[in-house]
Structure 1
Amino acid sequence: MGALARWNTLVQAEELAQALGRDDLVVVDARASLADPDSARRAWELGHLPGARFAHLEEDLSDHALVGGRHPWPDAEAFTAKLGRWGISPRHQVVAYDAGNGGLAAARFWFLLRALGHRDVAVLDGGLARWTALGLPTTTDVPTAAAADYPGTFDQERLLDADEVAARLDDDGLLLDARAPERFRGDVEPLDARAGHVPGAVNRPFSENLDDDGRFKPPARLREEFEQLLAGRHPGEAIAMCGSGVTACHQILAMEHAGLHGAKLYPGSWSGWIEDPSRPVATGDEPVEP
């Protein structure tokens, strides 16, 4: 038998289906609903990929005992303890998926592991929607796993707070806001207390990372689009944000898939920025400097 496939950004449903049963593979169902958070767990109970553990966006991929926007970045010790309970260790190939939102919560899970230094983690391209459209198997069985040990801390170089974001903008950093254009402009704000964006930010909605079929665009196309925004900057000078640090991870995943490595995350994002009313807010469209 040849070397086992390792996936670091995306994996296609056909490839994953062939790999089910590998003893080094752990699949995680990270589907989420902002409107009804508990509906995601109920949906997982009704059917999920064979062996898939369930990771709750609010309870597992965020820590609401902390501050920092609507989805505070979790404590490393608490998060790695959950990885261990799911049977995930640093040796595992991990694949995360969600239902029909373009891979948003799965990308959050992906970047949580990446920030721990876990390389072999990927998102199922097209998610559960494409998996079921291909007629691939699902189950209602609740998986069991032997507990594992996951030592690790987050790479703080890739996680920036509001002051670090402001400083890097002053130093020609690129802040990419993944929200929809109408939220970026401040025309509407359905979730947060104030509308608008961080002055100097550039809007790239996460939906621009996807093709019409809900899968990610090809790497070469993504690279061309992001390099146009980078305008000669190193990818590590890019900072991703959104409303609460979830869809921003989709931006980093797209960049990594395009071979553009090292982008940072502002976990608090817009909801964290406006926690301090003294921070400046911009509205409307700002010109993008080439």
Structure 2
Amino acid sequence: MEKMNDSPLISVNELSAQGDGSILRVCDCRFLLSQADAGRAQYLASHIPGASYVDLEADLSGPVDSRTGRHPLPEVSVFRKTLGHLGLTPDIPVVVYDDGGCAMAARFWWMLRWMGHRDVKVLDGGVAAWQAAGFAMASGNETYQSAIYEGPADDDLWVSVETVESIVGQGSGLIVDAREASRFKGWQEPLDLVAGHIPSALNRPFIQNMREGKFKSTGELRQAFEALIKAQLPRDVIHSCGSGVTACHNLLAMEHAGLPGSRLFVGSWSEWITDQRREVVIEPNDS
């Protein structure tokens, strides 16, 4: 087995080079918000050999109520059991992938980091890049012997809505919103009941981290994020989106760019709007 690089990303060639004797585990995170069972169906039909399936809503989210966003974190004890059912322990290297956009994979990457799992990487380009390279695919369900996943969660990696309220009120810290510009500006909202964005937030659509289906270079991403956050330290950057999924993409991109330490607002926009007293910004649309 070849030693993996220190980046949070891994290429399809690097993954292929790990070989059949590797203890590394691969997880398929494909998911469509518009069709919740589509990702599992895609996995069963065709996936990277050895991959287990991980579902955004069943495995990577907790119960939704009137005060949460659309994809809140599960209880730590519940998530530990999920990881154990996947046969994972904190010392097993993990590679996560999705269809290629890397948003769902970034969410699982971040959640594993939240659990203290350090040896986890996102497959750059996802299953699309794997297939384009001509590597083998498998079908059907793949499982591993259950394990006991132990270790404390690092709750310093995320912030609550109360913390975001404080940032907005005091002007301390920087909120970066990963949604597309039209949603951020409040010109359209296909998923949530209220359109707009959190006051003082800046927009960095997560798709801007990619070029031709893969992440941009470390240098290019670093230049872009340094221009965005200016004098702010990465630690003071809070990532938001619609429900705490694509925000992880920007967080991953910053880490790939050598700017680690930013944090996630898990509830994101869909939690912010659960309280009508919170201010909402809609930008003028002159078109």
TM-score (norm: length of structure 2): 0.94
Aligned to 1:75: 75
Cα deviation for residue 141 of structure 1 reads 4.0
Listed one character per residue, the Cα deviations across residues 210-250 of structure 1 (whole Å, up to 9, x for unaligned) are: 11x11001011111111111111110100000000000000
Aligned to 1:168: 167
Question: Is it true that 1:194 corresponds to 2:194 in the alignment?
Answer: yes
- Matched letter for residue 162 of structure 1: V
Cα contact 2:45–2:140 (8 A) shared by 1:
no
Listed one character per residue, the Cα deviations across residues 8-64 of structure 1 (whole Å, up to 9, x for unaligned) are: 510000110111424420000000100101011111100101110000011001112
Cα deviation for residue 152 of structure 1 reads 2.5
When structure 1 is superposed on structure 2, of 77-86 and 177-186 the one drifting more is: 77-86
Aligned to 1:219: 218
Cα deviation for residue 172 of structure 1 reads 2.5
- Matched letter for residue 206 of structure 1: F
- 1:46/1:216 CA distance change after superposition, 3 Å: same
When structure 1 is superposed on structure 2, of 14-23 and 69-78 the one drifting more is: 14-23
TM-score (norm: length of structure 1): 0.93
Structure 1 gap ranges (5+): 286-290
The 3-state SS of whatever aligns with 1:19 is: coil
- 1:267/1:115 CA distance change after superposition, 3 Å: same
Aligned to 1:137: 136
Listed one character per residue, the Cα deviations across residues 129-179 of structure 1 (whole Å, up to 9, x for unaligned) are: 111111111101432312222113321212111110121342431100000
The 3-state SS of whatever aligns with 2:57 is: coil
Aligned to 1:5: 4
Aligned to 1:183: 183
Cα contact 1:88–1:148 (8 A) shared by 2:
yes
* Distance in 2 of aligned mates of 1:192 and 1:5: 40
- Matched letter for residue 164 of structure 1: T
The 3-state SS of whatever aligns with 1:59 is: helix
Cα contact 1:58–1:64 (8 A) shared by 2:
no
* Distance in 1 of aligned mates of 2:26 and 2:13: 14
Aligned to 1:288: none
Cα deviation for residue 65 of structure 1 reads 5.0
Aligned to 1:112: 111
Size of the aligned set, in residue pairs, is 282
% of aligned pairs identical?
44
Cα deviation for residue 208 of structure 1 reads 0.8
Cα deviation for residue 68 of structure 1 reads 1.8
Aligned to 1:255: 254
* Distance in 1 of aligned mates of 2:45 and 2:241: 31
Question: Is it true that 1:97 corresponds to 2:59 in the alignment?
Answer: no
The 3-state SS of whatever aligns with 1:95 is: strand
* Distance in 1 of aligned mates of 2:85 and 2:233: 38
- 1:72/1:175 CA distance change after superposition, 3 Å: same
Aligned to 1:88: 88
* Distance in 2 of aligned mates of 1:153 and 1:51: 28
Cα contact 1:68–1:267 (8 A) shared by 2:
no
Cα contact 2:64–2:70 (8 A) shared by 1:
no
Cα deviation for residue 283 of structure 1 reads 1.0
- 1:219/1:105 CA distance change after superposition, 3 Å: same
